[in-house]
């Protein structure tokens, strides 16, 4: 998870979320391979939800002239 989200607190939260989501429906008689496959699928689903929540919203907004200072100053023919 850390490699996918890039920070430890979010990775820890998402890992806990994976295990909470996976432990409820998991069969006691499941083999090690089945458990690994199920945890991987659950982790992908949780990670996709995280990306939807974090990347799906607008983070910044710029007006027409805001933020163009360095570009406009470096290149007088920019506009």
pLDDT above 70: residue 9:
yes
Task: Give residue-wise pLDDT tens across range 18-31.
Answer: 999 888 888 888 89
Mean pLDDT of the region 7-12: 94
Report the C-alpha gap between 62 and 69 in whole angstroms. Answer: 12
pLDDT above 50: residue 78:
no
pLDDT above 50: residue 17:
yes
- Which of the residue ranges 27-36, 54-63, 69-78 would you say has the lowest mean pLDDT? 69-78
Report the C-alpha gap between 36 and 30 in whole angstroms. Answer: 10
Domain boundaries, the chain: 2-24+31-53
């Amino acid at each position: 998870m850390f490699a996918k989200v890039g920070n430890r607190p979010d990775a820890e939260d998402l890992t806990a979320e994976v295990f909470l989501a996976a432990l409820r429906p998991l069969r006691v008689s499941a083999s090690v391979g089945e458990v690994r496959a199920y945890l991987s699928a659950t982790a992908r689903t949780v990670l996709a939800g995280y990306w939807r929540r974090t990347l799906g919203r607008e983070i910044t907004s710029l007006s027409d002239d805001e933020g163009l200072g360095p570009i406009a100053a470096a290149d007088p023919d920019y506009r």
